[in-house]
Amino acid sequence: MNRPQIPADVACAADYEPHARERMDPAAWAYLCGGAGDEITLRANREAWDALRLVPRVLRSLANGSAAIELLGRPLQSPLLVAPMAHQRLAHPDGEAATALAAAAQGAGFIFSAQASLRMEDVAALVRDEAGRGPLWFQLYLQRERAHTLELIERAEAAGFEALVLTVDAPSSGARDRERRAGFRLPPGIAAVNLRPQAPPPPNADFFSEIVAQAPTWDDVAWLCSATRLPLLLKGVLHPDDARQALAAGAAGLIVSNHGGRTLDTAVSTARALPRIADALGGALPLLVDGGVRRGTDVLKALALGASAVLLGRPVLHGLATAGALGVAHVLRLVRDEFEIAMALTGCARVADINPRLLDKAS
């Protein structure tokens, strides 16, 4: 039996990317790793974390330190969660099952995508009874029929998911040029198995009257809050006014996200949007952030800007494509180790010690 191996030259999460690209179908790579338009936002996400500079403190006690946090009342070994990502069997045959098992083994949170290529019940059953696992959340797109949305919610509740994550920044797909140039189509045997089949719009459909006419609104958020016993987080918020409205609508948390640069190109980077939203809410809701996070120092910077936790996306897929569950677990461990090192080197024994004064205001 060929056991998965971690390549000898992998020292950080980003080192997995070339190995993953070698192993993946080029069209699948374009779908999973490409961005919208000219991919300006895709690049800006990474560049914004790099541009922030840390101002470390020294000679501070690090005794009894810990990277642990509490999120929505649940303990978490570190502020790391796996972002919801569709069709993970494009990267590896074990898909979401491997990712969930790896996240559980590392004590990281796992957000299961509604567009997953494995059944939610099967994946949840693999990890929900694991001691020390992180939160298990279900990411949701509102369906055209409320009855179909309710069906998904009821299945998620019964399967043991602990929160719902509503993606709100994609009333339509972005113009993903790299994906279109590659001619990406889902291969046989891979589909969004948790969703009812939807007929595609006719070729000459009018965009506003036939494609986005039923796009979700704040009324749908209020309805969703009333339709579930689970806490609801909104994913895809970049504007402070939307953050305030989410608080008023009953959201339990926000994920500051631009969909990994896959929807609106030239949208603001998440590292720039995060502190504005944190200022607008003043700690009223837990904030999470994704987009371009590759290093433990990125995690520390995010928390200094006001986040409670971060989501890792593409690096997880790169680990998955390279070495299955072992690769995902290694990616999560590398980033956590780097985060703990960054905490120590900035004089932070605990996550609560991380604050905006660790960031150079000029950066």
Residues marked active site are found at 259
Query: How many Å apart are CA 320 and CA 318, to the nearest integer?
Result: 5
Name 139's bridge partners.
165
